[in-house]
Amino acid sequence: MSTLGIALTPKRMLLIGAGKVAAQKARVLDSLDFAYEIVAESRLDAYFDSKIFTCKAFEDADAEGFEVIIDATGNEQVTQRLVALKPHLHFWLNVVDVPELCDFYFSALTRRGDIQVAVSSGGSSPTLAQVIRDKIEKILPRDLTSLIDRLKNERKKPDRDLEKLKEIAKAGVGKVFLIGCGTGYVGNLTLDALNAFELLDVALVDALVSEEIRALIPLTCKVVDVSKKKGFHSKSQDEINALLVDYAKQGLVVGRLKGGDPLLFGRLGEEKQVLSAHGISFEVINGITSALRSCTVSGIVPTIRDISKGVTIVSAHLRETLFNDDWVSILKQPLHTVIVLMAHSFAKKIEDSIAKQGIDPNLPAAFVSKIDLPDQITIVGTVGKLDKMATLCATPAVLIIGECVAKENILPAENSGKIIYM
């Protein structure tokens, strides 16, 4: 059978059966607001509990007057009778799971207002059709109402420009995934992130996204390096924002791949604002932040009863190379842990700021360096030795400060890596 995409006006429809398979077809008809009648010997699925139907065995007379009949009985005798009746009563017949007897197939359908995308396997594999439909569902923006209305109005103009209409349509269906890729260990990549990779046309990738995770990006996806490292920016944030908008307006599915979790110091807010201002659909996918992964891999528990009752996550680095020490006074709070991101290169400045605040130099502290990498190392000491501690490890590194870091409170696990106590 050849496939021809057509849109049906409501037909007089008969559904035969009230079991699990019939319920699947009933749900489709209900989602389309198609009216239909039901004939079944018994109600076998709870979906029909609220349905009115004729409770009886199917008879030839039941088929009269219907334009479409769906046989969901699985009963060969009922099917044979319907096939015999069809030339005389002139109805379209669908015998569930028997494609060679079908005049039409059910498609896996995605709807966005007036836009409908139907995926058909010709009856050979409804499951595959559903999987492909779900992929399309994920790619399309959830709301196309304004785009549809705009194109509808543009199309009515006598001097309409087809190329312009195409550009408007492309710009309206582009989408951006803002994806957190964690610390680089593939085992900590979320399923949402992995599934999103399969949809991407373009990926804008940060420096902290590991080679192992980059290798999971499909070969069909264009990869653009937008690394931002201290003292070296391949792309400014404004340039990255412009790329996101430009690619999305080409109708592409764009991935913005970031290290850690984009909600923490990942400029997510700026990118969301830009995308919203341009009417571009986006989704945010969380990653495992290095702030918490550093605790996991070092054996440090940031909240321990009677030792630490809370955690504050801060950054020692602001725009460009500007040092931030506004958080240092938090260290005066008892029973509290502070986790400092981007602190390694500012170790001496942090140590000096802590001393100026009159904070006990013996307050425990640890640098957790190269998280999840083969050369991962944890340097445990005190805030009075931060500069010396930093010389024993490399970036990227997370600084953890608080009584939870005291040697007696650290309980290393198998993946804790090397630990040096000063």
pLDDT, mean of residues 84-105: 92
Give the Cα separation of 317 and 338 in Å (integer): 15
**Residue 293 pLDDT:** 94
**Residue 356 pLDDT:** 95
- Residue of 206, 249, 258, 370 marked catalytic: 206
On whether both 348 and 402 belong to a single domain, the answer is yes
Contact 347, 354 (CB under 8 A): no
**Residue 70 pLDDT:** 96
- Residue of 11, 135, 138, 228 marked catalytic: 228
Q: Check pLDDT > 90 for residue 158.
A: no
**Residue 228 pLDDT:** 66
CATH of the domain at 213: 3.40.1010.10
Whether 309 is catalytic: no
Contact 346, 390 (CB under 8 A): no
Min mean pLDDT across 146-150, 172-176, 293-297, 355-359 is at 146-150
Contact 25, 48 (CB under 8 A): no
Give residues with Cβ within 8 angstroms of 130, minimum separation 6.
108, 119
**Residue 230 pLDDT:** 54
Q: What is the mean pLDDT of the chain?
A: 90
| Residue 132: HSE in the Cβ half-sphere, 13 Å Cα cutoff | 13
Whether 206 is catalytic: yes
In a domain, 338, yes or no: yes
- Give the range of the structural domain holding residue 299, as residue numbers without chain letter: 291-421
Give the Cα separation of 197 and 254 in Å (integer): 9
pLDDT, mean of residues 232-245: 84
In a domain, 56, yes or no: yes
| Domain edge (last residue) among 157, 173, 189 | 173
Q: What are 30-45's pLDDT values in tens digits?
A: 988 889 999 999 999 9
Query: Helices marked H in 174-266 — which ranges?
Result: 191-197, 211-214, 237-249
pLDDT, mean of residues 255-278: 92
Q: Check pLDDT > 80 for residue 115.
A: yes
In a domain, 2, yes or no: no
Give the Cα separation of 109 and 90 in Å (integer): 26
On whether both 190 and 241 belong to a single domain, the answer is yes
Alpha-carbon dihedral sign for residues 16, 19, 21, 26: positive
Give the Cα separation of 183 and 292 in Å (integer): 10
Q: Check pLDDT > 80 for residue 137.
A: yes
Q: Check pLDDT > 90 for residue 403.
A: yes
**Residue 34 pLDDT:** 86
On whether both 323 and 270 belong to a single domain, the answer is no
On whether both 193 and 254 belong to a single domain, the answer is yes
Strand stretches in 266-396, DSSP E: 281-285, 311-315, 337-341, 364-369, 377-382
pLDDT, mean of residues 69-86: 96
CATH of the domain at 304: 3.30.950.10
Contact 179, 263 (CB under 8 A): no
In a domain, 6, yes or no: no
